[in-house]
């Protein structure tokens, strides 16, 4: 693990397990951003769903489902699919439950609160597909692979996306954001995650999982979508980029200044985002 990876792992531990993280406000901003089909998370989830070819009644696990953007995309395409959504965040799951209330009542959709790293303690498989949209790096993903493998039917797929910046490539909007924080803080050791393609492939291989294909995606975010994405990030960036040297209020103020600067310098055409969707098979 490089120093950057190490700092990053700690930043994300801080983030989702930090008592100062404002889950209810974050979940509201997140859901608002996800409701826009042109928003960052809707477009990322769409990239995964369009890379999959599923049976109409497939049984799917939406791992770290958040407020449900990937589940929504899946059900738009496969209205009879069975879905189990799991997430650490109760506040996010409240939005998920509201979105799928009718399907939950008729037991087509199930919702479980829990830690992805301890999947076997609360989820019963097997699933034809496990989807993890915009979330793999939010937990100790290597630790989950054994459970993911065990929760897939033979020949089942694990599908997830990784932004280009995280793969060490030209990073689109995330690179713009990271650069702005680096410039402000003068610290390049704190930043967004990195998980190289070879690290991913080797970790998968150890658990009898094989990359079937890696499909590039790209989308443009207009200025409104950039704004709502930055609003979501505003709950995380104080803890990622200003972890120790300032109190949380000072961290929030400094973070707001950086985010305002990014929005003010965003061209009318917005920003691009790129990444890869990995479709992984159980060997």
Residues that bind ligand SAM (CB under 6 A): 16, 34, 41, 45, 64-66, 69-70, 87-89, 92, 115-117, 133-135, 138-139
CB 278 within 8 A of CB 137: no
Bridge-based pairing of strands 59-63 and 152-163 is: unpaired
What does the alpha-carbon distance between residue 64 and residue 1 come to, in Å, rounded to a whole number?
24
CB 281 to ligand SAM: min, Å: 21
Q: Which CB, 17 or 205, lies closer to ligand SAM?
A: 17
Q: Which residue is nearest to ligand SAM (CB)?
A: 66
Maximum C-alpha span of the chain: 53
CB 65 to ligand SAM: min, Å: 5
Q: Which CB, 106 or 240, lies closer to ligand SAM?
A: 240
The residues facing 277 across adjacent strands are 161, 215
Q: Which residue is associated with the tokens 């995650």?
A: 193
CB 237 within 8 A of CB 125: no
Ramachandran sector of residue 66 (left: φ over 0; alpha: ψ -120 to 50; beta: rest): left
Q: Which CB, 88 or 174, lies closer to ligand SAM?
A: 88
DSSP state of 69: H
CB 260 to ligand SAM: min, Å: 22
CB 261 to ligand SAM: min, Å: 23
Q: Which CB, 115 or 255, lies closer to ligand SAM?
A: 115
What does the alpha-carbon distance between residue 226 and residue 230 come to, in Å, rounded to a whole number?
6
CB 6 to ligand SAM: min, Å: 18
Q: Which CB, 70 or 279, lies closer to ligand SAM?
A: 70
Q: Which CB, 10 or 205, lies closer to ligand SAM?
A: 10
Q: Which two tokens stand for residue 156?
A: 């089942």
Q: What are phi and psi for residue 153, nearest 5 degrees?
A: -70, 155
CB 1 to ligand SAM: min, Å: 18
Q: Which CB, 139 or 166, lies closer to ligand SAM?
A: 139
CB 145 to ligand SAM: min, Å: 14
Q: Which CB, 30 or 242, lies closer to ligand SAM?
A: 30
CB 186 to ligand SAM: min, Å: 27
What does the alpha-carbon distance between residue 169 and residue 194 come to, in Å, rounded to a whole number?
10
Exposed (0-12), middle (13-18) or buried (19+): which is 66, by Cβ within 10 Å? buried
Nearest residue to 33 (alpha-carbon basis) of 134, 155, 151: 134
What does the alpha-carbon distance between residue 215 and residue 207 come to, in Å, rounded to a whole number?
22
């Amino acid at each position: 693990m490089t120093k950057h990876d190490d700092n990053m792992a700690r930043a994300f531990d801080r983030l989702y397990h930090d008592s100062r993280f404002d889950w209810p406000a974050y979940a509201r901003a997140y859901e608002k951003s996800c409701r826009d089909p042109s928003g960052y998370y809707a477009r990322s989830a769409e990239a995964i769903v369009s890379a999959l070819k599923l049976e109409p009644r497939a049984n799917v696990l939406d791992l770290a489902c958040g407020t449900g953007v990937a589940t929504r995309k899946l059900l738009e395409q496969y209205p009879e699919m069975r879905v189990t959504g799991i997430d650490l965040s109760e506040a996010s799951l409240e939005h998920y439950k509201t979105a799928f209330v009718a399907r939950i009542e008729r037991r087509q959709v199930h919702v479980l609160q829990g830690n992805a790293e301890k999947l076997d303690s609360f989820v019963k498989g097997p699933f034809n597909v496990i989807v993890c949209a915009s979330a793999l790096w939010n937990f100790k993903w290597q630790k989950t692979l054994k459970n993911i493998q065990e929760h897939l039917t033979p020949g089942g797929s694990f599908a997830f996306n990784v932004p280009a910046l995280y793969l060490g490539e030209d990073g689109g909007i995330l690179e713009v954001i990271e650069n702005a924080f680096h410039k402000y803080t003068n610290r390049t050791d704190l930043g967004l995650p990195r998980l190289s393609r070879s690290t991913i492939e080797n970790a998968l291989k150890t658990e009898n999982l094989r990359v079937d294909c890696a499909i590039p995606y790209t989308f443009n975010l207009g200025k409104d979508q950039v704004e709502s994405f930055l609003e979501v990030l505003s709950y995380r960036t104080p803890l990622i980029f200003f972890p120790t040297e300032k109190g949380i209020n000072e961290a929030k103020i400094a973070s707001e200044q950086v985010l305002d600067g990014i929005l003010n310098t965003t061209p009318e055409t917005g920003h691009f985002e790129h990444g890869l969707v990995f479709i992984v098979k159980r060997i």
